[in-house]
Structure 1
Amino acid sequence: MTVSYVVREARDSADREACFAVRKEVFVAEQGVPEDIEYDAYDAGAVHVLAVREDGTPLGTGRLLHGEAAAAKNGGDGSVGALGRLAVLREARGLGVGAALVRAIEDLARGRGLTAVDLHAQTHALGFYERLGYVAYGPEFEDAGMPHRAMRRVL
């Protein structure tokens, strides 16, 4: 099945609400992440990206933290961005939406002068990120009740 979509930076409050709705569907409803930890103080300053069909229907989202917010997440290195909250609706999986979101976030990171992007991957998604050039480091850890690994890609 071919679905035409575009990935763009969230432009306004409606786009941001669409991003949050995708996250709620994937993380809260599907994966059981408590809603009170899904949304955090980093959302306000993050750069959000949104994948939408030509008719505007949301398909996926992700966010980039940079500056102080990213440094707080990655151990103090302000030159490294933090990719997070990558979510693709079930009906859009396998269409390349996730990879397109990651590449858009990397482009935004480059545009902000960042040298690398870190992320915390659910362990079942390690292969997806490895195919996109990310390398796992450090021990496995738990986040929101699920096993994760830290990963990085130098830009």
Structure 2
Amino acid sequence: MELLQVNKIRTQEELESAFAIRKQVFVVEQGCPPELEWENEDVSHHFLALLDNQPCGACRWRKTDNGYKLERFAVLKEYRGKRVGQALVAAALADIPDSANSIYLNAQVEAVSLYAKFGFAVEGEQFEEAGIQHFRMVKK
């Protein structure tokens, strides 16, 4: 049985692991411009997923003028289909204050069904962000 855990990032080393995962998924694999990938890092709460102690996924949340935004969900290709994404969503949601009145995210089209499992619903039209099609989703 593989051990899957998601930890809130506490050290610079863990943050570097998360950034390396995001770089691989967003910049290398999906072709996002690096300058769009790194922003708001200092005001975000970051998470790192480990499968058998190997860093395999990352995400973050931050407070914005519109509420609490979940973002930068990334799972390395060889770890997809192992419930890493679900574990990341669950950990991020569990960390957001209970007083949160609005929780939202911009989901890549193929990830909509993942977020829907956690009560997020598509709001509005499909749009492009960093060359990738997205939907805004809001937690109901």
Q: TM-score, normalization: structure 2?
A: 0.93
Q: Match for residue 131 of structure 1?
A: 117
Instruction: Give the Cα–Cα distance (whole angstroms) in 2 for the partners of residues 89 and 3 of structure 1.
Output: 16
Q: Paired residue for 1:33?
A: 32
Give deviations 1:102-125, integer Å, cap 9, x for gaps. 0110011135x3134200001121
The percentage of aligned residue pairs carrying the same residue is 35
- The reply on whether 1:95 has 2:97 as its aligned counterpart is no
How many residues are aligned here? 140
3-state secondary structure, aligned to 1:110: coil
- Contact 1:4/1:53 (<8 A) preserved: yes
Please name the residue that 1:84 is paired with.
71
- Residue 148 of structure 1 corresponds to 134
**CA–CA separation in structure 1 for the residues paired with 2:25 and 2:93:** 22
CA distance in 2, matches of 1:3, 1:43: 30
Q: 2 CA distance for matches of 1:136 and 1:145?
A: 19
1:43 maps onto 2:41 in alignment: yes
Alignment partner, residue 57 of structure 2: 60
Contact 1:140 1:148 in 2 (8 A): yes
- What's the offset of the Cα at 1:83? 0.1
Which ranges of 4 or more aligned residues in structure 1 deviate by more than 2 Å?
none
Gaps of 5+ in 2: none
Other-structure match for 1:117 = 103
Amino acid corresponding to residue 147 of structure 1 in structure 2: Q
Unaligned runs of 5+ in 1: 75-79
The answer to whether the 8 A contact 1:3-1:95 is kept is no
